[in-house]
Amino acid sequence: MKTHRISPAVLVLLWACTPSDAPKSAEAAESTAAAPAASTAAASTTAPAAQLDASRGKEIGMVYEAYLSPWQEGDEESATPSSTPSQFRSTTASLTRAQREAAGHTAHGQLRFTRDLSRAYVDVQIKGVDLANVNMFHIHCGRPGILGPIVVDFSQATNLKDNLADGNFSVELTDDVIVKTARSGEGAIGVATMGCVIPSPSLGSNTPLKYSTIAGLARLAHDGELYFNLHTTGQSYYGDIRGQLQPAGN
């Protein structure tokens, strides 16, 4: 009887055709079964503890800034509506926006909030404007091009003339300033122009509420709904220079 020898080439071919799902050894099966368990253990690792420090609440957190210019004002002073109350009308000669730009009317301001939203700090540097003619300085709520109501009347927090004397204005804001501003309006015009209405209803209230906290001011700033407006005797209705507040550095 002849013995048939299998050539090396045939052996290689048979090995290559061996099914990949051939039974595995017991050790290999145990290793494969243990892999998911190891992954699950790694995924359930406890997260590191939060690093909490309540004392940091007084540090500065969110910062917004504005570059004020005549061109952010909604229109020329000559377009003041005839129905405008006397307290919002110019009493001296007005300049066009182009004339004010040529005269160098500009400013840079910041609005900084503490992390606990108990305080806000305003700093504004004003250039080119005759500060003797400044009669009002506010933070309004409203989007670009809109004449919005006043949420912060700086005269409720400081002596406007003294603070502006050197062109560098600084003031600390608290909830009290916002409340005073909202309550300072008299008659229907005052009610409509002083204080910003909160769009969300409040439990137990049947009348619209107005923002009364620094936290609310921060919400308006976050939504892009705040702007500085510096008014003068010649630019009392629209204002002399205006700047929409946006996150600092943008």
Predicted pLDDT of residue 82: 92
Predicted pLDDT of residue 15: 44
Alpha-carbon gap, residue 104 to 95, rounded angstroms = 12
Q: Quick one: average pLDDT of 97-120?
A: 98
**pLDDT band, very low/low/confident/very high, at 17 (cuts 50, 70, 90):** very low
On average, the pLDDT of the chain sits at 87
| Three state DSSP letters for 70-123 | HHHCCCCHHHCCCCCCHHHCCCCCCCCHHHHHHCCCEEEEEEEEECCCCCEEEE
Predicted pLDDT of residue 60: 96
148-186 pLDDT tens trace: 999 999 999 999 999 999 999 999 999 999 999 999 987
Q: Quick one: average pLDDT of 7-13?
A: 46
> pTM for the full model?
0.80
213-225 pLDDT tens trace: 999 999 999 999 9
Shortest CA distance to 228 belongs to which of 122, 90, 92? Answer: 122
Residue-range domain boundaries for the chain: 59-247
**pLDDT band, very low/low/confident/very high, at 192 (cuts 50, 70, 90):** confident
Predicted pLDDT of residue 99: 98
- Say which residue, 204 or 212, is predicted with more confidence: 212
Q: Quick one: average pLDDT of 2-24?
A: 48
